[in-house]
Structure 1
Amino acid sequence: MTRRITCLLVAAAFLLGGAGCATVPSGGQVVEGESAERAERVDDPYVRLIPVKPHPEWGPAQIVSGFLAASASFDDNHKVAKQYLSRDNSWNPGLRPSVTVLAGRIDDPQVIKSTDRSATVRVTGEEVGTISSDGQYTASPKELDATFQLAKTPQGVWRITSLPGGEKAGLLLTQDDVERAMRTVNLFFYAPDRHTLVPNGIFLPVVNRQTLPTQLVHALLTGPTSWLKGAVQTAFPEGTRLKRRVHVENEVATVDLTEEARAGNIERMSAQLSWTMRQLSEIKRWRLQIDGETVTPDGMDATQPVHAWEVNSPDGRTSHDETHQDAYVVGPSGFLGTLEDDRAQPVVTGAAGSLSRPAVAPDYQEFAGLSSNADQVLVAAPVNGTPTPRVMLNAQEDARFTAPSWSSDGTLWVVESKDDESWLWVRRRGEEPVRAAHWGLGGREVLEFRVARDGVRAAVIARVDGRPQVQIGRIAQAPDGSLDVGSFLPVSSELQDAVDLAWRDYNTLAVLGRAKRDSQTLPFLMPISGSAITSLGVGSLGEPQTIAAAPGAPVLIGTRSSGKDQVCRQRAPSNSYSPWICPTPAKDPSYPR
């Protein structure tokens, strides 16, 4: 009977809508050749599920199974799922419910206690994570064991009287349910500099395509998720809401905010809205209204293009700007050089030129690197000639440093790590290095640390249960300037034995690692939302050791083959299938920003 319920649901489900699906971060297959941008589109078609109403002849186990299946439909505020409940059960998950995500569907709920009028049904399964009511996903692999209480109504049909977690319970959905009914979208908030936007990825239920613009703006006005709260700011004054739904006509959206928005900065609010709404392909321009009155940012028309406000990009300046971004490498004779036409052109020579894992500051005023055995962090300036390197940090016994990482404001970050503990060091320009006041990975070995260009997020490779795992954390600043760097969450379980990583853009990491089916370390693009990872390029790479990436720039790999160091790139970087070529005798490639 349970399988029949599932078949009824599936048979009724295949109606195409206009929004896409989301991949739960704990899993997802590796998709060969598909670009990360394609995998992240909000507008991909999705499968709408048409739920089945309870049948009068169904017993307690079938009622629970039908309820779980019907819960995956968000139509009419879970109207059909509520028909499985007794009349005195006021369960109401709402438009953005909390979700417990299961690896697969529960096919056989078990009746563990039963009388003529009541029953207890037990469900078990493999929990992979949770989605909070604000859309934040957290991996939490464990076994699920929950019970439902049921009773017969005066009409002689079984109904659920009590849910696991009570009337405030959320949903129990499978990964397939989440992929079908929800989308991963970005909301954009401001970094502490009040200028740079920071993406906040959330899982958003999609009821129908027409309501998605309103859902998206409403989520933005609600504020950041608990994970990012305290690390970012919003330009919308407290209490600002949508006065009416977002209206879209002829590719122009109208966003009408309540009176509270008059106290906000029009330009800063516009940037947040533009970056958030540009994810929807049907919106090309939009107008901002406050209490029905159109307001216009300085220097703009009444209708703004959604691709305006590039100055607030989370990636900062890109290679499309006037200032070209060079890649830096360590040349074969021990010099720091720029990579030009596949040749390393010396820039810094002498002792400073032979530092390991060098990283040039975004303003090109100084650079940092490691000693040959990674037990010292050294800095030098300027980035030319033969500057004398200065020791900034010495590691404790049996400790090593991660490669230096710069944030856009000139702050230098590096992690000192042992087998089972680590410390984050931060050096602001013109100051001495200090340990971060609060460091969320203090009890783990950290192999790599990279600050995002927005300065609010950080990607790490940390050893978890003996394996290197890619995680994302957030950087919050207290009023006194102290830092809280923590709340690290795993990004994907599809890679194991990660070796190195870099931020390709605000949505995507370039990672060297080994997929579960592979025996070799290879490069991948990893969306930080946890969507499917993408293999990058084809061909032999020898023994890849380091990776470098930047917006609009080729991904570079430092590898060792036949005892020689080489820097590799794709023959045609814009094509993810393009083969790797290794024309440059050098190592440790990096981009300044």
Structure 2
Amino acid sequence: MDADREGRGRRVPGRTVVYAACGVVLLAGCASMPDSGDLRGVDSTARQDTPVRVFAMPPQEDAEPTDIVQGFLEALTSDDPNYETARKYLTTSAAKQWQPGLSTTVLDDGPGADVVPPVDREQSDDKSFTLVGTKVAVVDAQQSYAPASGEYRETVHLVHDKKTKQWRIDSPPRGVVMGRSDFQRNYVSVNKYYFASNTRAATAPQTVAVADPVYVRERVDPMTQLVRSLLKGPTSWLDPVVRTSFPTGTALRSGVSSLAPDDRSTLTVPLNTKAENAGMDQCKAMAAQLLFTLQDLTPAVDEVELQAGGRQLCSAAESDANGDATRGSVENPEFLYFVNGEHRLVRVAAEPDGSGAKAQPVPVPGALGEGDKDLRSVAVSRDEHTAAGVGLDGRALYVGSLVSGGSLGEPVLVSSGKTTGDRLTTPSWDTEGDLWVADRNPADPRLLLFKEGAGKPLEVETPGLDGRIRDLRVAADGVRIALVVEKGGKQSLFIGRIEREGKTGDPQSVSVRELRSTTPDLEEVTTMSWAGDSRLVVVGREQGGVQQTRYVQVDGSTPEGPPPAVLTGVKEIAASEDADMPLVAYSEDGIVRLPSGAQWQKVDADGTAPVYPG
């Protein structure tokens, strides 16, 4: 179960290949290719269970054009840091101009190649091949992953050098291309961290850290790659809502080619002169960003030390970083909440006590637990002081404090939808104490925000939204929101960026922008929940398939590790951003949860609508 729930927290030591002893596999580049017709011989290398370094062989003397193309494609899947072997398959000019870092195109299988017949049958000193395949994803120059689809077609042109008498590629494909299994072997998803730029100091006294997932090459000094990526700044999608503590232009000091921790698990990071005037508070924030980022890659770093201008700027250990900023993945909820058989809000301890005794749910203090209002769904604020509940018919939204004797009052929102399914969604609280809910009324569909859970709702702009919101969850970082959107009978999961306009603490308008699909292969999304800083757990079904529960990254990729243990008939699911908290579901057996290292356990046979704070 530890592997199931680990996600993108600290990486398993056995997978930290940067410090592991590695074997070596050589890619010979000698598979034959036909002179005409369709080629399917560039097969992906099988994924290795152990950290094996893969290196390519340079082109053989007098190699045929087919072998040159084959060798080049195989060299793209090797662990050659700068693709020097791949460049040996190119002409001198092409080797200088080719930029492998522009993109990595991932295909369903390794690229095949069609021979392009020459225009002049007598021409013998040039050859062309068309690389073909089905696109799965593209990793861009910022190392950001995005799902892709459709046909991949790129032409590779070769010439026969008159001086060397050797065939070489003078027109290579754009960037790098490889099959899915080679991509999984070569690359690893890691979170780099920035700080939310739109939080209110009054309700969020700590800076909020936001995960920005990128893919780095797993066996090519990933630590140094990740630090360079962090210093370059956030990816374009996240950039409008986060900030970095590093001064503009900060980079590793000239001549620094590799970083590694010492025997005290301290990583020294020498920076250029752009950082030398950073004050102590700024330096501490820089160190926190680095430590959060590096600990997502490896457990081998306990402390970072920053240097610039020939002197130490500051250092920070894990306790220092967690004191300077907060992350959802380390915030521990006190309780798990759900609606009991009497339709009241109840709670149990978030973590089982280890005794094996069945948890005994108790009503929450206040009107939502002790009153007479029947509830259908609930949300509890992240400080666990306030709760919101939707009435049993889905029409009215109530907000009340979790204090004994508190009254509920009138609903803060009433939907005019004609049926339960056309009324209010389950609400969600963000890190600033604001409450989000969607009205599914087809005549007036709206996404609404109640500042601090009260007052007149602010209608949230949703440019680019194509469909009707069926469900929503705001991330712990407060700058991302997950939306289940329905159109034409199909439900899809999207991640949107939350932007606030106006002065800090009193935004005049709020919008959700640049919605990104995270489950393009699902035609039905039953339920979902955040399950980490950049991960969600989703219950859904592919076309013609059966219901399945899986983890997905916010960028649409699939995280490492197995899916959650199988559970049938899941109607609702709840997870905490803290991966140590049990996964919880409402299924055919009522409320059940999955403690670490155990099987699904029944919590309440009659309960529904489980939630952690948020």
Q: Same fold by TM-score, threshold 0.5 exceeded?
A: yes
SS of aligned partner of 1:141: coil
Aligned to 1:285: 303
- How far 1:383 sits from its partner (Å)? 5.3
After TM superposition, the structure 1 = structure 2 runs for residues 339-354 of structure 1, keeping only pairs within 5 Å, are 339=348, 342-347=359-364, 348-349=368-369, 353-354=373-374
Q: Does the 8 Å contact 1:125/1:145 carry over to 2?
A: yes
Q: Deviation at 1:495?
A: 6.0
Map of 1:290-369 to 2, 5 A cutoff?
290-296=308-314, 304-306=316-318, 308-311=320-323, 312-315=325-328, 318-319=331-332, 325-339=334-348, 342-347=359-364, 348-349=368-369, 353-369=373-389
Of 245, 259, 277, which aligns to 2:273? 259
SS at match of 1:179: helix
The question of whether the paired residues in 1 share the 8 Å contact of 2:91 and 2:169 is answered with yes
Out of 574, 577, 587, the residue aligned to residue 559 of structure 1 is 587
Structure 1 partner of 2:89: 84
SS at match of 2:328: coil
User: For residues 9 and 227 of structure 2, what CA distance do their matches in structure 1 show?
Assistant: 23
In the aligned structure 1, how far is the partner of 2:158 from the partner of 2:445?
51
Contact 1:105–1:174, Cα closer than 8 Å, also in 2: yes
Note if contact 1:407-1:453 (Cα within 8 Å) is conserved in structure 2.
Answer: yes
- 1:88-487 alignment runs, 5 A limit: 88-92=93-97, 96-113=101-118, 115-154=123-162, 155-164=164-173, 169-192=174-197, 193=199, 195-206=207-218, 208=220, 211-243=221-253, 244=256, 245-250=258-263, 251-261=265-275, 262-263=277-278, 265-278=282-295, 279-296=297-314, 304-306=316-318, 308-311=320-323, 312-315=325-328, 318-319=331-332, 325-339=334-348, 342-347=359-364, 348-349=368-369, 353-381=373-401, 384-385=404-405, 386-395=407-416, 399-417=422-440, 423-429=446-452, 430-440=454-464, 442-463=465-486, 467-479=490-502, 481=507, 482-487=509-514
Do 1:331 and 1:337's aligned partners in 2 also have CA atoms closer than 8 Å? yes
Distance in 2, matches of 1:369 and 1:179, equals: 43
Q: Tell me the residue number matched to 2:613.
A: 592
**3-state secondary structure, aligned to 1:327:** strand
Question: What's the offset of the Cα at 1:207?
Answer: 5.3
Residue of structure 1 in register with 2:600 after alignment: 579
Letter in 2 for 1:555: L
* C-alpha spacing 1:129/1:260, structure 2 compared with 1 (3 Å): same
TM-score if structure 1 supplies the norm length?
A: 0.81
- Residues 549-593 of structure 1 show CA distances to partners (whole Å, capped at 9, x for unaligned) of 2224322222345xxxx21123xx011x52332444322121224
> What per-residue deviation string (whole Å, max 9, x for no partner) do you get for residues 8-41 of structure 1?
xxxxxxxxxxxxxxxxxxxxxxx99585358965
Q: Secondary structure of the residue that 1:309 maps to in structure 2?
A: helix
Match of 1:531 among 532, 549, 559: 559
Q: CA deviation at 1:453?
A: 0.6
Structure 2: gaps of 5 or more residues: 18-49, 200-205, 350-357
Q: Distance in 2 between matches of 1:38 and 1:315?
A: 11
CA distance in 1, matches of 2:469, 2:602: 31
Change (3 A) 1:344 1:280: closer
Partner of residue 9, structure 1: none
368-377 or 353-362, which deviates more? 368-377
Q: Quote how far apart the aligned CAs of 1:56 are.
A: 4.1
Secondary structure at 2:525's aligned position in 1?
strand
Residue in structure 2 matched with residue 36 of structure 1 by the alignment: 7
What is aligned with 2:29? none
Give the C-alpha shift of residue 254 in structure 1.
0.7
CA contact (8 A) 2:112 2:132 kept: no
User: Which amino acid in structure 2 is aligned with residue 248 of structure 1?
Assistant: P
Q: Which moved more, 1:32-41 or 1:217-226?
A: 32-41
Letter in 2 for 1:460: L
Shift of 1:522: 5.3
1:190-217 Cα shifts (integer Å, max 9, x gaps): 0123701111110112453xx3332221
SS state of the match for residue 239, structure 2?
coil
Shift of 1:493: 5.9
Give the aligned residue type for 1:587.
Answer: T
SS in 1 for 2:130: strand
Is the CA contact 1:252–1:283 (under 8 Å) kept in the aligned structure 2? yes
Residues in 1 aligned to 2:561 and 2:487: alpha-carbon distance in whole angstroms = 20
1:41-86 deviation line (CA, Å, top 9, x unaligned): 5615543321122234444343223222212235252112112222
Q: 2:56 is paired with a residue of what secondary structure?
A: coil
Paired with 1:526 and 1:173, the residues of 2 have a C-alpha distance of 22
| 1:268 counterpart SS class | helix
Asked whether 1:500 is paired with 2:527, we answer yes
Distance 1:463 1:53, change over 3 A: farther
**Contact 1:376–1:395 under 8 Å retained in 2:** no
Could you say which residue in structure 2 is the equivalent of 1:15? none
Distance of 2:389 and 2:154 partners within structure 1: 53
Alignment partners' CA distance in 2, 1:283 and 1:522 = 36
Deviations 1:153-173 (A, max 9, x none): 103332222234xxxx31112
Deviation at 1:375, TM superposition (A): 4.4
CA distance, structure 1, for counterparts of residue 180 and residue 442 of structure 2: 34
Contact 2:305 2:312 in 1 (8 A): yes
Deviation of the 1:526 alpha carbon: 4.0
Kept in 1: contact 2:440–2:468 (CA 8 A): yes
Q: Relative to structure 1, is the Cα distance of residues 91 and 446 closer, same or farther in structure 2, using a 3 angstrom cutoff?
A: farther
Q: Work out whether residues 315 and 453 of structure 1, in 8 Å CA contact, stay in contact via their aligned partners in 2.
A: yes
Q: Deviations over 1:121-152 (max 9, x none)?
A: 21211011111111111111111122122222
Q: Distance in 1 between matches of 2:609 and 2:186?
A: 43
Return the letter of the residue paired with 1:290: A
Aligned in 2, Cα 1:530/1:463: closer, same or farther, shift over 3 Å? Answer: farther
Choose 358-367 or 218-227, whichever is displaced more: 358-367
When normalised by structure 2's length, the TM-score is 0.78
Could you tell me whether the CA contact under 8 Å between 1:498 and 1:514 is conserved in 2?
A: yes
**How many Å apart are 1:95 and its aligned residue?**
7.2
User: 2:346, 2:110 → 1: CA distance?
Assistant: 55
SS in 1 for 2:433: coil
The equivalent residue for 1:21 is: none
1:309, 1:325 → 2: CA distance?
22
1:591 alignment partner AA: Y
User: Percent identity, aligned pairs only?
Assistant: 25
Contact 1:218 1:242 in 2 (8 A): yes
Instruction: Work out the CA distance in 2 between the residues paired with 1:444 and 1:433.
Output: 22
Separation of aligned partners in 1, 2:97 and 2:501: 37
Query: Secondary structure, in 3 states, of the residue corresponding to 2:156?
Result: strand
Whole-Å Cα distance in 2 between the matches of residues 34 and 276 of structure 1? 19
Q: Is the 8 A contact 2:340 2:608 kept in 1?
A: yes
Q: Alpha carbons of 1:517 and 1:438: their partners in 2 closer, same or farther (altered >3 Å)? A: closer
* CA distance 1:292–1:247, change in 2 (3 Å): farther
How many aligned positions are there? 537
C-alpha distance in 1 between matches for 2:175 and 2:105: 7
Cα distance 1:222–1:349, how it changes in 2: closer, same or farther (>3 A)?
closer
